[in-house]
A and B are shown apart, each in its own frame.
Chain A
């Protein structure tokens, strides 16, 4: 490759990166502005008088810390349940021979097509009867239910690419089924598992409609409520809302940055072999 083509390529990638990062830069930039500066004609605006107050508002009035802990708890339990269920289901669908396997596999995959919000009101009625509204479980159960189908789909695709010989030798060495699934298969499917973890994380972390319907107690509310705390009937305190959004997106960015490579691997590996 000549030097000039290399330069052009670099410039091109830089532009693409900038376009990708722009919303984030914009978000951070505007989180330092007061609400009145929001609708100026400039796209980015240097905060001559940075509004640190927005972050203080986000932390105090937005009750950031409490909501953050709730979100972190709900999301991590959901991820844990999703991973365990998807992994075991995936194994059952790819390796085990049983009578109704194709039927159940289709039923589980149909779950991908059901949007979580379509289940809102029926779930509310059922959960209320069961006393699950206003509890963490009221969020964890539906979140898990919608995450498992996709997780199973990704994992079955991935598992088909793993040679059976591995398990055969494990069986010869005396490993039981749990050992095979959790100690042999799980590490091998690590890239796909990471994909499942990240997609589940993103889905739960920002979910609001379900949370707003099921939760009334302030002590249980999750992060998206924090943004709500600055919404008036007609206009809102945009500066503080942006500060909340910056704080909310940090964990998502961190997770994506850490697992970036595995995600790409997991998605493509699952897709091609599926």
Chain B
């Protein structure tokens, strides 16, 4: 019996060991191959025609529509022109993307190009030395055609660490038919906006759709109000950077009071606090809300044949209305450049990666493709192709007519903790009904404790 139990134990041990080694071989094997492959490539990176696999990390998992499709088209174009290059794309949606990028940064993963969010998030990467410095002089001129001032959230200590891919700016989309049918004036001042809200509500139509659950729209709306009041694009950014105070400032107090008016006159749809992006968009595209406060990246709505035709013919763009007595003009645009791409320092093929990066950012690739497909408004000068929808033309007018731009959205100009706390402050304001003073106190606290 002693023999017996010993042999059984041995058999069990051997099986367990075998299982473990087989499993690790499964995954580990691939890794080794990769490393071996990249090792040889690294040595001869200069010469073309060597097989190279570049790693791109992106936050656009849907490769069949919108910006994901545009990104994929750029990649396909590049591979066609450079058959020796393979591009290994890893994609995750927003939140998992941010988490994993942090993990990659912590472990210095050898990515080649990564999508980055300008501002606080990129700053973290810069401080960790994970992304490469770029030379702005290389990106001047006709190949790239970047619009002036778009590097703001990609620049730290006067050094550039990434290139923006889009111009994002907040506008009010509105359904012209709903305004016309109900005889309501298209608002050009904030008071008219609130008045239009009341009239729509009286007719049983939701005035303005808002993605309240996501919270960031409120912060943008508030920033818009501050800019309309003061004409000063930097005031709110300075307050986040603790150079000014949210509390005890008459402009902020006035802006918060105006924000409270929007809340109290029920400008936003019923139960707007539970509506996420999709829900708020749907309410608007189904013609059940007259307006939608959203960013310029929704230009594709006018050409999306999944949406009702009646809606597509009537969707228009409105600049955020001026505030009576405010110093701001309606051409002071809340525009920023949030998303972009950076080169990763630990790249195993720095030269090939740079070639691909430059190709992607050239004006006739990403910029042209997102514009043509209506997926976004690029951060580069683009030629009107003549095939633009009415909506795209209006959006272009808003951007080219802007007399000042913010460069950064206040919510993203602080630390991630500030963003969290500030969003919660707005959530508390809209869901819990706290006073304007409380909102400002909460924002002040968020700025101080970030």
Segment with Cβ contacts to B, from A97-105, A150-158, A223-231, A247-255: A223-231
Q: Is the CB of B27 within 8 A of A138?
A: yes
Q: Is the CB of B27 within 8 A of A136?
A: yes
Mark contacts of B95-114 with chain A using CB atoms, 8 A cut-off: 1 yes-contact digit, 0 otherwise: 01001101100110100000
Mark contacts of B16-30 with chain A using CB atoms, 8 A cut-off: 1 yes-contact digit, 0 otherwise: 000010011011101
Segment with Cβ contacts to B, from A3-11, A12-20, A35-43: A35-43
For B295, the closest partner residue in chain A by CB is A234
Tell me whether B68 is interfacial, beta carbon within 8 Å: yes
Most buried by B among A40, A120, A137: A137
Mark contacts of A230-255 with chain B using CB atoms, 8 A cut-off: 1 yes-contact digit, 0 otherwise: 11111111100000000000000000
Tell me whether B278 is interfacial, beta carbon within 8 Å: yes
Tell me the bound Cα distance from A132 to B20 in angstroms.
12
Tell me the bound Cα distance from A29 to B297 in angstroms.
31
Contact A134:B27 (CB < 8 A) given known A209-B99, A228-B61, A237-B62: yes
Contact A231:B62 (CB < 8 A) given known A132-B24, A137-B24: yes
Chain A nearest CB: distance from B214 CB in Å?
9
Chain A nearest CB: distance from B229 CB in Å?
28
Tell me whether A131 is interfacial, beta carbon within 8 Å: yes
Contact A228:B282 (CB < 8 A) given known A177-B5, A233-B59: no
Tell me whether A83 is interfacial, beta carbon within 8 Å: no
When distances are taken between beta carbons in the complex, the residues of chain A under 8 Å from B5 are 176-178
Q: Is the CB of B8 within 8 A of A34?
A: no
When distances are taken between beta carbons in the complex, the residues of chain B under 8 Å from A125 are 106-107
Tell me whether A121 is interfacial, beta carbon within 8 Å: yes
When distances are taken between beta carbons in the complex, the residues of chain B under 8 Å from A140 are 23
Mark contacts of B246-289 with chain A using CB atoms, 8 A cut-off: 1 yes-contact digit, 0 otherwise: 00000000000000000000000000000001110111011000
Tell me whether A61 is interfacial, beta carbon within 8 Å: yes
Segment with Cβ contacts to B, from A162-170, A198-206, A210-218, A256-264: A210-218
When distances are taken between beta carbons in the complex, the residues of chain A under 8 Å from B30 are 134-135, 217
Q: Is the CB of B103 within 8 A of A124?
A: yes
A interface residues, how many (CB within 8 angstroms): 43
Tell me the bound Cα distance from A120 to B103 in angstroms.
9
For B68, the closest partner residue in chain A by CB is A232
Most buried by A among B63, B278, B297: B278
Contact A135:B23 (CB < 8 A) given known A35-B306, A39-B286, A208-B96: yes
Among A39, A132, A136, A137, the residue within 8 A (CB) of B278 is A39
Mark contacts of B66-96 with chain A using CB atoms, 8 A cut-off: 1 yes-contact digit, 0 otherwise: 1110000000000000000000001111101
Give chain B's interface residue range (CB within 8 Å of chain A).
Answer: 35 or more
Tell me whether A269 is interfacial, beta carbon within 8 Å: no
Chain A nearest CB: distance from B294 CB in Å?
9
For B25, the closest partner residue in chain A by CB is A135
Tell me whether A128 is interfacial, beta carbon within 8 Å: yes
Tell me whether B48 is interfacial, beta carbon within 8 Å: no
When distances are taken between beta carbons in the complex, the residues of chain B under 8 Å from A235 are 277-278, 281
Q: Is the CB of B27 within 8 A of A234?
A: no
Q: Is the CB of A40 within 8 A of B103?
A: no
For B338, the closest partner residue in chain A by CB is A233
For B102, the closest partner residue in chain A by CB is A121
Q: Is the CB of B92 within 8 A of A228?
A: yes
Tell me the bound Cα distance from A195 to B266 in angstroms.
51
Among A132, A209, A213, the residue within 8 A (CB) of B28 is A132
Tell me whether B31 is interfacial, beta carbon within 8 Å: yes
When distances are taken between beta carbons in the complex, the residues of chain B under 8 Å from A267 are none
Q: Is the CB of A230 within 8 A of B61?
A: yes
Tell me whether A174 is interfacial, beta carbon within 8 Å: yes
Tell me whether B128 is interfacial, beta carbon within 8 Å: no
Q: Is the CB of A178 within 8 A of B61?
A: no
Tell me whether A220 is interfacial, beta carbon within 8 Å: yes
Among B20, B277, B285, B339, the residue within 8 A (CB) of A36 is B285
Q: Is the CB of A178 within 8 A of B66?
A: no
Among B61, B107, B286, the residue within 8 A (CB) of A231 is B61
Most buried by A among B27, B67, B102, B282: B27
When distances are taken between beta carbons in the complex, the residues of chain B under 8 Å from A137 are 20, 23-24, 26-27
When distances are taken between beta carbons in the complex, the residues of chain B under 8 Å from A128 are 107, 109
Contact A131:B28 (CB < 8 A) given known A176-B4, A212-B96: yes
A-B contact pairs, 16 of them (CB 8 A): A120-B99, A120-B103, A121-B102, A132-B27, A135-B27, A135-B28, A137-B20, A176-B8, A213-B99, A220-B27, A229-B63, A231-B93, A232-B60, A232-B68, A234-B298, A235-B277
**With A137-B23, A137-B27 already in contact, 10 other A-B pairs whose C-beta atoms are closer than 8 Å:** A34-B306, A134-B30, A135-B23, A135-B30, A178-B12, A212-B100, A213-B103, A216-B55, A232-B67, A233-B93
A-side residues, CB < 8 A to B, are 34-36, 38-40, 61, 77, 120-121, 124-125, 128, 131-132, 134-138, 140, 174, 176-178, 208-209, 212-213, 216-217, 220, 228-238
Give the 4 A-B CB pairs with smallest separation, nearest first.
A135-B27, A39-B282, A231-B93, A176-B5
